Chain A
Amino acid sequence: MSLATFLDLTLSGLVVGAIYALFALGYTLVYGVLRLINFAHSEVFMWGSFAAVWLMMAMGARSGMSIPAAIGFLLLALIAAMAVSGAIALVVEKVAYSRLRHKNAPPLVALISAIGASFVLAEIMGLRDKIAGWVGLDGVLAPYVARARDTTSFPNPLPNVTLFEVADFPVRSNQLIVLFAALIMMVALDQFVRRSRLGRGVRAVSQDPEAAALMGINRDRVIQLTFLLGGLMAGAAALLYLMHIGVTRFNVGFILGIKAFTAAVLGGIGNIRGALLGGLTLGLAENYGSLIFGTEWKDVVAFCLLIVVLLFRPTGLLGESLGKARA
């Protein structure tokens, strides 16, 4: 194996891992406060990716634009993706969780409810041509809704240039942008949860819901906030994913969501820094694993890694809990 191949695998592993990590935050935050797997988080991501694609299409983004304009477009797409993902995450909380929470339903029922929400959200996207047809908008919206079950590509206006070369391996701009953007978002979220008043509320509820309630923290608000934060991060992850992979589809969330959840568990679910570590580990392990065993065994490597880690460190690499280690 040449050094260039190794660098290529390492960098793309880190990039994919950073996207997993950002996506994993939604699972980790919600698990932290609710002890539930938000199965519908994958669709939150998927809707964000479509928001970005549609906005780009609507604004007429194309390659060969000036760099400042392209960056402006991408920032707008980021905002759109985050806004839509955040909104969908709140809808999921409202529709799939809040009623059950107030009824004190067993966790498994909440999981099924979230699975239902996930199917509905994915299928609405996958049937958007039919649904637009019902209201007679399929003609007007044709570019956006046609061939609803096929992949849709993301018109990235930013040229992907080679920045520099290391041992014959070209380091491309998109990869670095994605990697750093993901890291910045994660640091920002980590600091928010650590330092802000709202973040303290999130941590308090995740550590001891009853005590938090006694201290006058509104649990429902905190839960909505965690869904919102997770959704915003998933939206950002969706845009970065589009920049890296270039296409999306109505069912893109399913496998990616499983991977992101794996990353969250790997690092220690409920733990924000754990999500980062888990994401990067998973991304690298997948890439190195596919080098050794072949690309078709990539997912097998990912799941085997998860099982092995859980056997030896049952609470993940960094342990559980938001923000602070628990006794």
Chain B
Amino acid sequence: MRRFLDAVGDAPRGVRIAGLVALALLAYALPLLNPPIITTPESDFRAVLFTVASYALVALGLNIVLGYAGLLDLGYVGFYAVGAYTVAVFGSLHGNLPFPLLMVLAVCITTASGLLLGAPTLRVRGDYLAIVTLGFGEIIRLVALNSEWLNGARGITGIPRPPSVELFEIPRLTWEGWVAYVDLGDKSVFMKFALLDATPYYWLTLTVIIFVLFADVLLQRSRVGRAWEATREDEEAAELNGVPTFRFKLLAFAMGAFVGGMSGALFASRQGSINPEPFVIQISILFLAAVVIGGQGNRWGAIVGAIVVAYLPERFREASEFRVLIFGLALLVLSNFRPQGLLPPRRRRRVNRETDRKQQMEGGVVHG
């Protein structure tokens, strides 16, 4: 596994880009291919794909906060909820703004809420940030639950969808065993946003993910990314070397909120109706688990983590009663036997390799 990852990392730029493009194309094609084994027999594969994609988006946002800046945010679901509720409130309950405008509004409001929460709380010590953000996440949910203006537990329906541009229809494959048939009776319309077929939403989210990935790469390889990393490594040393750590932590918080809010807004639009129920703290922990399982600080790791967290329970629905138990066991096993995550950042992999080599050498001396 590690050798494969290193080979990927060391491959020439052209090969890597070609690989990534192929991967992206495959990702876009997944709902049409509906491949056996991967497809989810007991739930709508397209809906599952959308869920996985929205988790991946959230994980990318949280990875900025947690993986880059090292801030433990246990209430990330709060931003997801703010994004979802913004779309619902201004698109249906108290307004009827069109979807594109709602997206912009949702992103602005979540970013603002990130700044508002971060400005006072990022001054408290790191460990306390966990509990403060946890409280924030709960407050958001409870406000949604108890506020009449937000329709309380009844939730909000009739959330607008993105404008549909119906250009053409694409058939999908059905499989009998290992033989694929083109199913002309089950087509996805490009791009018709509707309740039944989640495929266009999945494509939209995937596109957003690709944009976020680009931004993520550009930021990480700049002064901003270096400042985050330095702050995470040693806050005091960073500060004494001229890094305004508070400002950069706040920036990370705002960026994380931005991405989380975007994902929440997409989620609300796809559902068509929302209530406070899906925004419980456990979901925050799921998001957190996605980032940590994947390997904090690695954007690909975050995506893999999101797939593990969102896809596996759907794929193995027959064990649905036991999914939380299995999930807990997985967390326990992973953190104990692979503490750096499934895909640790490349740099840390290099360190590990070097440590291994040292250990081998030392072992060699002892045995020789």
Contacts and interface: CB of A to CB of B under 8 A. Distances in A.
What bracket does the count of chain A residues touching chain B fall in? 35 or more
Interface of B: 66, 72, 120-121, 123-125, 127-128, 130-132, 134-136, 138-139, 142-143, 145-146, 281-282, 285, 288-289, 292-293, 296, 321-322, 324-325, 327-336, 339
B124 A112 contact: no
Given A37-B130, A100-B336, A103-B339, A297 B142 contact: yes
B339 A117 contact: no
Contacts of B125: 314-315
A265 B131 contact: yes
B135 A127 contact: no
Interface stretch (A214-222, A223-231, A298-306): A298-306
Interface in A117-141: 117-120, 122-124, 126-127, 130
A113 interface: yes
A116 B325 contact: no
21 contacts: A35-B127, A100-B336, A103-B339, A105-B335, A109-B339, A112-B289, A113-B332, A115-B288, A115-B328, A116-B328, A116-B329, A116-B334, A119-B327, A120-B329, A127-B325, A297-B142, A306-B131, A307-B120, A307-B135, A310-B128, A314-B128
A176 interface: no
Interface in A70-100: 95-96, 99-100
Taking chain B's interface residues, is the majority helix, strand, or loop, or is none over half, making it mixed?
A: helix
B130 A118 contact: no
Contacts of A109: 292, 335, 339
A303 B138 CA distance: 8
A208 interface: no
Nearest to B280: A254
Contacts of A45: none
Interface of A: 31, 35, 37, 95-96, 99-100, 103, 105-106, 108-113, 115-120, 122-124, 126-127, 130, 254, 258, 261-262, 265, 269, 294, 296-297, 299-300, 302-304, 306-307, 310-311, 314-315
Given A127-B322, A127-B325, A307-B135, A265 B331 contact: no
A265 B128 contact: yes
Given A115-B328, A300-B139, A306-B132, 20 more contacts: A100-B335, A112-B293, A116-B330, A116-B331, A116-B332, A116-B334, A130-B321, A254-B281, A261-B131, A269-B127, A297-B142, A299-B139, A299-B142, A300-B143, A303-B135, A306-B131, A307-B132, A307-B136, A310-B132, A311-B124
Nearest to A96: B332
